[in-house]
Amino acid sequence: MEFTVKASLKQHQVIHTGERPFSCDLCGKSFSSKGSLKKHQLIHSGVKAYSCDQCGRAFTHSSHLQSHLVTHSGIKPYSCDQCGRAFTRSSHLQSHLVTHSGIKAYSCDQCGRAFTHSSSLQKHLVTHSGIKPYSCDECGMEFTVKASLKQHQVIHTGERPFSCDLCGKSFSSKGSLKQHQLIHSGVKAYSCDQCGRAFTHSSNLQSHLVNPLWN
């Protein structure tokens, strides 16, 4: 590769050496070029000069705004070969693919529960803190996670946005829909050690253990 300026050649050569001579005074992260360091330092400044005309969300870098604008276009060019789910960004697809691998590399030190993503572990750790910053305006019930509050609020609205493709039955939460869909799958993963009878749901097995005549 050829360069017209010697400084450009020197800057290019660090790609091969792996050298990162420019480090951030605030967090210690290092970079191969002065330009990359300056771009990084904008994160610490808090300045977000690039805003979205459609939703008002602001970003530190122009490139981040460009990536965000794709979410408004509705175009999802990255799809999963295993389940067909589509994403607006390649990074989102890569993150999703981990869920199919079955690998759960992030585990909770307090209860041992494991997660596929670091972000999921961070959300889970809040449950051990006892802090419940999200409260329901209708009944005052408190939650550790915002998603749990939203799921709870449909109790008051009566909304059932999740419907079964096979029978049309609708549910207030995605979890309830998934649990229902097991009925159609025919899978009975919970079996009784004493009589061998199998059940679709864990709760059904528990009811059976209390009363063996339970159907």
pLDDT digits (tens, 9 = 90+) for 1-49: 665 666 666 666 666 776 777 888 888 888 877 888 888 877 788 888 8
Q: How far apart are CA 50 and CA 174, in angstroms?
A: 35
Query: What single-letter DSSP state applies at residue 126?
Result: H
| pLDDT over 80 (residue 116) | yes
**DSSP H/E element including 45:** helix 34-45
Residue 214 has pLDDT above 70, yes or no: no
Q: How many CB atoms lie within 10 A of CB 135?
A: 12
pLDDT at 8: 61
Average pLDDT over residues 63-90: 88
Phi, psi of 208 (to 5 degrees): -65, -40
* 8: its two tokens: 């450009």
Query: What is the spatial distance between Cα 105 and Cα 90, in angstroms, rounded to a whole number?
Result: 21
Contact 126, 115 (CB under 8 A): no
| Residue in the structure block whose two tokens are 């420019």 | 22
pLDDT at 140 over 80: yes
CA-based radius of gyration for the chain: 25
| Domains and their CATH numbers in the chain | 6-45 (3.30.160.60), 50-101 (3.30.160.60), 169-215 (3.30.160.60)
Average pLDDT, the chain: 85
C-alpha separations of 154 from 91, 136, 191 in Å: 32, 11, 33
Judge whether residue 59 has pLDDT over 80: yes
DSSP code of residue 66:
H
d(CA 16, CA 137): 58
